[in-house]
Amino acid sequence: MPSPTARLLRAHQVPESYREPGILSGYRPPRSSACECLLSLFGMNNETLNIWTHLVPAGYFAWLLAGALRARGGREAGAGPFLAYLGTVALYPLASGAAHALGALGGRGRHRAYCCDYAALSLYGLGSALAYSAYVFPLEWVGSTFHDFYVPVAVLNSALSTGLSCYSRFLEAERPRLSKAFRTLAFVYPYIFDSIPVFYRLSRSAAGSCSEGSLPLHSRHSLCALLTLLSFTSRLPERLAPGSFDFIGHSHQVFHVCGILGTLFQLEAVSMDMAERQGRLPLPSSLETFGSLGMGAAASLAILGVCFRSLPPDPPSQEKSH
């Protein structure tokens, strides 16, 4: 059985498109086997902390989901949107950790792993919208046209996010900057749309029009979302000191940590709003909630199917992690 620390490579030893700016060492061999990829979880390389910074939170969120299902599932009216949201919260770090773990696979396997990661992130955005619509919406917007169309548009945005992010993988070899721009847009736009109710409540709080206990948590979530975007796009700190952050502290690890912290703040904020505003917002039926989530999941699965069939067996020079 191969050692989990065997055969780490330097940047010049891997295909150009496999390299990350400022990361000079610690690369796993391209076209590793699935067994070698899984063994790499237990040895230090430049993806190790990318994997564990999402696998550990995924376990925690799954534990919270199991507890919520025992406490609320089928017995507490209006718990459906929270359970749907918490399910997507547990899913996306699991999919991301798995994608990074399998990121050294060659050809289609690598692309498929990351496309599944993108689909899970898109569903997390939809889960957030379901929770916001049920518990977070400004009371004066309840029953408005925007509220009526908020979840249907979020379902559409989820499908668009999956499609655009998966399509970006076809552009990586020849147009890497455009690929990254598409991938960034695929998740920034749905986040902004989903957060409109939160931004409105935060703006009213800043103007002194209202003060609610969940708003500091919502503001911390928004700050973490901004830090997540900045770390993903800036490639700092490794650009400033190439080789110094190959294993610990590079931007993708910061991206993961900020994203998880933001989700923790969001989860606390949604839980507080659900408790404090109980009875003040009309709650959707379980059919409406899980039907919307099911439509988003079905659309993403269909897009994944098209992408999987269309992916060419890429040579090593066309592979790159997200």
Condensed to tens digits (0 to 9), the pLDDT of residues 200-237 reads: 999 988 777 666 789 999 999 999 999 999 999 999 99
In a domain, 42, yes or no: no
Tell me what percent of the residues of the chain surpass a pLDDT of 90: 72
pLDDT digits (tens, 9 = 90+) for 48-101: 999 999 999 999 999 999 999 988 765 666 889 999 999 999 999 999 999 999
| Long-range pairs of 92-96 with CB within 8 A, sequence gap ≥ 24 | 92/117, 92/120, 92/121, 92/123, 92/124, 93/54, 93/55, 93/57, 93/58, 93/61, 93/260, 94/54, 94/55, 94/58, 94/62, 94/120, 95/119, 95/120, 95/121, 96/54, 96/120, 96/121, 96/256
- The tokens describing 177, both together, are 């900057």
Domain count, the chain: 1
In a domain, 1, yes or no: no
Q: With cut-offs at 50, 70 and 90, classify the pLDDT of residue 110.
A: confident
In a domain, 37, yes or no: no
Q: What are the CA-CA distances from residue 148 to residues 124, 137, 273 (Å)?
A: 20, 11, 20
What is the pTM (predicted TM-score) of this model?
0.92
In a domain, 191, yes or no: yes
In a domain, 39, yes or no: no
- The tokens describing 119, both together, are 């689909």
Q: Which domain holds residue 169?
A: 47-318
The pLDDT of residue 321 is 42
The pLDDT of residue 194 is 98
In a domain, 12, yes or no: no
In a domain, 94, yes or no: yes
pLDDT greater than 60 at residue 315:
no
In a domain, 221, yes or no: yes
Continuous H helices in the chain:
34-39, 48-72, 80-101, 107-131, 145-168, 176-194, 196-206, 215-234, 251-276, 286-310
Tell me what percent of the residues of the chain surpass a pLDDT of 70: 91
pLDDT greater than 50 at residue 322:
no
Higher pLDDT, 6 or 302: 302
pLDDT greater than 50 at residue 282:
yes
